[in-house]
A and B are shown apart, each in its own frame.
Chain A
Amino acid sequence: MSLRKPPLYEAHAESGADFTDFGGWEMPVSFSSIRDEHAAVRDSVGLFDVSHMGELSVDGPDATELLHRLTPSDVEGLGDGRALYSCLLRDDGVILDDVIVYDHPTESEYVLVPNAGHDEEMLARLREHKLRWDLDVDLSNKTKETGMVAVQGPDAVERVDAVTADDVTELDPFEALETTIDGVTCLVARTGYTGEDGFEIMFPSEGSDAIEAAFADIQRCGLGARDTLRLEAGLLLSGQDFHSEDEPHDPFETGIGFVVDLDSGDFVGKPALERAVEDGPNEKLVGIRLDERAIARHGHPIVDDGEAIGTVTSGTMSPTLGVPIAMGYVDADFAATGTELTLSIRGRDVDATVVDTPFLDSVDAE
Chain B
Amino acid sequence: MSFDIPDDLYYTESHEWLAESDGTVRIGISDFAQDELGDIVFVELPAEGDDLDVGDAFATVESIKAVSDVYAPISGTVTAANDALLDAPEAINEDPYGDGWLLELDGDLTDDLLDADDYAAQIE
Contact = CB atoms under 8 A, between A and B. Distances in A.
Interface residues of A, number: 17
Interface stretch (A88-96, A126-134, A293-301): A293-301
A295 B67 contact: yes
A295 B41 CA distance: 8
A29 B67 contact: no
Interface string B85-98: 01100000000000
- Contact-residue size bin, chain B (C-beta under 8 Å from the other chain): 10 to 19
A228 interface: yes
A317 B86 contact: no
B64 interface: yes
Interface in B13-57: 38-39, 41-42
A297 B41 CA distance: 13
A316 interface: yes
A316 B38 CA distance: 13
Contacts of B42: 293-295, 317, 324
Contacts of A346: 60
* Binding site secondary structure of chain B: mixed
A64 interface: no
B65 A293 contact: no
Interface string A21-35: 000000001100111
A228 B64 contact: yes
Contacts of A34: 38-39, 64-65
Among A16, A30, A35, A228, max chain B CB count under 10 A is at A35
A79 B35 CA distance: 49
A177 to B, nearest CB: 35
B65 A224 contact: yes
A297 B64 contact: no
Nearest to B36: A18
Nearest to A318: B41
Interface in A309-341: 316-317, 319, 324
B62 interface: yes
Nearest to A293: B42
Given A224-B65, A316-B64, A33 B86 contact: no
Contacts of B64: 34-35, 224, 228, 316-317, 319
A293 B86 contact: yes
Among B38, B41, B62, max chain A CB count under 10 A is at B41
A294 B42 CA distance: 6
A35 B39 CA distance: 7
A30 B38 contact: yes
Nearest to B90: A35
B71 to A, nearest CB: 16
A290 to B, nearest CB: 10
Contacts of B1: 16
B11 to A, nearest CB: 23
Nearest to B87: A293
16 contacts: A33-B39, A34-B38, A34-B39, A224-B38, A224-B65, A228-B64, A293-B86, A294-B42, A295-B42, A295-B62, A295-B67, A316-B41, A317-B42, A319-B39, A319-B64, A324-B42
Interface of B: 1, 38-39, 41-42, 60, 62, 64-65, 67, 86-87
8 A-B pairs with least C-beta separation: A317-B41, A35-B39, A34-B64, A295-B62, A34-B39, A295-B42, A224-B65, A33-B39
Given A224-B38, A293-B86, 17 more contacts: A30-B38, A30-B65, A33-B38, A34-B38, A34-B39, A34-B64, A35-B39, A35-B64, A293-B42, A293-B87, A295-B42, A295-B62, A295-B67, A316-B41, A317-B42, A319-B64, A324-B41
